[in-house]
A and B are shown apart, each in its own frame.
Chain A
Amino acid sequence: MSTPDAPSPDAPGAASPDVLEARITELRAAVRRAMAAGDRQAARVHRAELRAAEQAWDDAVLGDGPAAPDTAPDADHDEPSASVRAPNRPSAAPRGLVPVREQVHQALTLIGAPAAPKLIGSVYATFFPGQIPGTRLTSLRRDEERSFRTAPYARPYYLGAALTADLLAPARGLLTVSTWPLERRIVGPLSARTDFLAAAVRVAEHAARREQAPDVQRLLWRFAANIPGAAAGAVGTVEPRALIEAAQAELDVHEETDRRQRRRAAGRARAQLDDAGRLFGARLRAMRSAASTTDGDHR
């Protein structure tokens, strides 16, 4: 143990490091006991006291240093204890030059199909300068919907949800662009696969026009590893043309059925939903009637 024997002379008047250390130990025990007993309220109180004591200890023993975690760069991040975060990437570009919705729009336009935030993030990081801050994506769709409902069509495009073919409800975790045809924004049972394959083609085409940097290869590999015949070469290396051919070959198998299902659902959506509904998905009420009338219809 490296407990200092005496309070450090430049400690800011208050408690000595020894006292603080004892207090920290005590508070940690208190938090854990409160959690074990299921008393979340008490745990929260002790946790706050604990953070304060830790901060005081840092100041007393280690002196002033770089910013403490609570004032870390990412202003709207979760509470540190809530998640284990990946190490900061030193390559993170200065924030604020391109708004998040614009970043997502660029990536989605490249992908050309409904996509999950994770894919959107990797595509952006690979082909555009900087990164999309992950925590912003979660609230994006809600913000877009609010904005649309307040002032419809005030913006040139909106980032909306993908709609499920059977219920015309928002599909979990998929983002689309409002200017896409409705058929493309609706997902049927085969669409997860066809959209993945279509994205593979688009991303590979984009990559073929560029230098094959390691991060481009990594992104292509993510597609190629899961498309039959796409990864003919050595493990981890992908030839964009081979990827495009393999993805297109499998796409040919599913595409027609998928398109038919999407088109039929789009017809229903046009008939049943208002503008906001078509962009952000049917609400529960609409869904109920849809569920009762369209059973068996989505295949």
Chain B
Amino acid sequence: MSVLTSLAQLEAAAAGIAQPLATVRHCHLADHPLVMVPLKLAGEAAAPLAVMIGSDPAAPALLAVPQPRNRDLRFAFAAELAQVVLKHIETHHGAVEDLPPAKDGTERIRYTDAPQLLVPNRGGVGFLRMLGRSTRFRRTDGPYAVEPSVPVLGRWLTWYTDRHDHPGSALLMTMTEALRLHWATGQSSLEDGNLAALLGWIAPPGGMDGPAAAARAEDPVLSPPAGPVTDPGFDNEVLAPAIAAFDASGRDPRAEERVRRVLEGQLAPTWELMWRAVEVLRALPEGASVPARWERDRDSFTYFHQTFGEAYPQARRDSPVRAAKRLHDMERAQDAYDAQRAFDDPLVMAEHRLNGLAFGGTVTECDPTRLDESGKRPKLRPHLRVGTEDPVRLDPGTEVCSAARPGLKGRVVSVDGASVLLELTGGLGRKLTPEPGSVPGVGARVVFTSLIPGSFGPSRFPDKENTPWTHGGPPADYEPTDEDAAEDWS
């Protein structure tokens, strides 16, 4: 959070409608995302109750467990869910495109698309993580056999939820987080966690303002929660009698139908909200670096898909080297993601200007042909003075680049109260006179920043065999055990 975001919240509260925090869309949105609205049984770690799922707003599938405490019914649900999810994965990764081979000569390919999953909130991701954890070790033969698709689903869900932790990844997104990236509301982050309330501030239903829509969203009778936890009142007064009737009827299909209908009633409103939110996000123009990030997502998907057959289910816990590498990768991705968004979006760059790590203003003096002749050979080092009201906090010598054209690089020479003197060092062409148009002229509006896209370099980690003793030494190779496969799910 920052003063800029806080100010947007104040404006939203005063205006009664959400205010933008972004001018472009910072996440990829698939043409046909797979929307999932999962519900679980209260008090249980991973007892699925129902999910509304599909990639066509007009044709959701409803999968439900009429008695969520029954293990067989749970696995039947997992098998049904697997069918939908795996089919979507196999039909939404596009064609294989060949890439130039890697340095060591290995072939490289990438799918032209990747299947995208959307869930309402972080709880939804947590539930998919638990569902993945509870299904990926299952055996498809022997005493506790499950459908072959069930452990496959578990591995995919685990992969998607891991990938969700990766900053800037759009493979599995939560709608509340995606919306909060782009809008500030006049309520707190706690209330923003309610999808209906959040969307109520951004795109209130006809005749309402943000606060009215949000108030309506907080009434669980009018507006069922977006899950995965259901409203206790619904549980006690509607769901429990329906499940009890199903039990008492000896699994009468009519009683099952009643359970399904009450669950459908809880899910349908969130389903509508999810697709309305998709529309709202789609209306924003896509940020310039979004395709590049989606390409990384496709790389990751391609690798997992290609190696699926030869790999084991993901281990219960990462080995030390893997955990350290993962943390490092995430920090790098976070850094790159933050920088990219700032270059894509003046409203995000404004945060950095407010913090003094970027500044914007009008060029007041310009010496485009200035040469630095102190070395053996003269170098083209134009001077630029930028008049700015921004609270600049950059020391002389700091490297900066242009927000509009990151190739244009320079160095801070001096900062006084109202202007910054820059020496330009790159992005001017190869000659001793700058390429036409490369140096902003007097009167031009410019923004420079000390953010450098991708400045956080990769680090080297030891191979697994060389795990230092401080981290327990080389770990044993992970292989799923019988115990993993036979684990209770009760």
Contact = CB atoms under 8 A, between A and B. Distances in A.
Interface in A36-65: 36, 43, 47, 51, 54, 58, 62, 65
A118 B268 CA distance: 41
A33 interface: yes
B245 A47 contact: no
Contacts of B69: 84, 86
B254 A58 contact: yes
B236 A81 contact: yes
Given A28-B238, A33-B221, A62 B254 contact: yes
B158 to A, nearest CB: 26
Contact of B241 (A32, A66, A81, A86): A81
B250 A32 contact: no
A266 B490 CA distance: 43
Contacts of B257: 62
A80 B254 contact: no
A241 to B, nearest CB: 25
Interface string B56-89: 0000000000010110000000000000000000
A55 B244 CA distance: 15
B243 interface: yes
A29 B240 contact: no
Contacts of B254: 58, 62, 65
Contacts of A213: none
B237 A31 contact: yes
Nearest to A46: B237
Contacts of B248: 69, 72, 74, 77, 80, 85, 88
Contacts of B234: 32
B250 A69 contact: no
A54 B268 CA distance: 21
A130 B248 CA distance: 19
A83 interface: yes
A68 B248 CA distance: 8
B266 to A, nearest CB: 11
B436 interface: no
Interface residues on B, range: 20 to 34
Contacts of A74: 248
A81 B249 contact: no
A206 B252 CA distance: 39
Given A29-B221, A33-B221, A87-B251, A69 B237 contact: no
A65 B247 CA distance: 15
Contact of A69 (B221, B249, B264, B268): B249
B488 to A, nearest CB: 11
A1 interface: yes
Interface in B16-73: 67, 69-70
Contacts of A291: none
A191 B249 CA distance: 42
Given A65-B254, A66-B250, A80 B233 contact: no
A87 B221 contact: no
B255 interface: yes
A113 B68 CA distance: 36
Given A32-B233, A81-B244, A86-B69, A66 B221 contact: no
Given A1-B264, A29-B221, A33-B221, A88 B245 contact: no
A29 to B, nearest CB: 5
Given A32-B221, A80-B244, A83-B244, A47 B237 contact: yes
Chain B CB within 10 Å — which of A65, A81, A88 has the most? A81
A277 B210 CA distance: 69
A86 B237 contact: no
Nearest to B70: A87
A184 B244 CA distance: 40
A93 interface: no
Contact of B252 (A66, A84, A87): A66
A35 interface: yes
A65 B249 CA distance: 10
List 6 A-B pairs, minimum CB-CB distance, nearest first: A80-B244, A69-B245, A72-B248, A32-B233, A69-B248, A81-B241
Interface of B: 67, 69-70, 220-221, 231, 233-234, 236-238, 240-241, 243-245, 247-252, 254-255, 257-258, 264-265, 268
Interface of A: 1, 25, 28-29, 31-33, 35-36, 43, 47, 51, 54, 58, 62, 65-69, 72, 74, 77, 80-81, 83-88
22 contacts: A1-B264, A1-B268, A28-B238, A29-B221, A32-B220, A32-B221, A32-B231, A32-B234, A35-B236, A43-B237, A47-B237, A58-B254, A66-B252, A68-B245, A69-B244, A80-B240, A80-B241, A80-B244, A80-B245, A84-B247, A86-B247, A87-B247
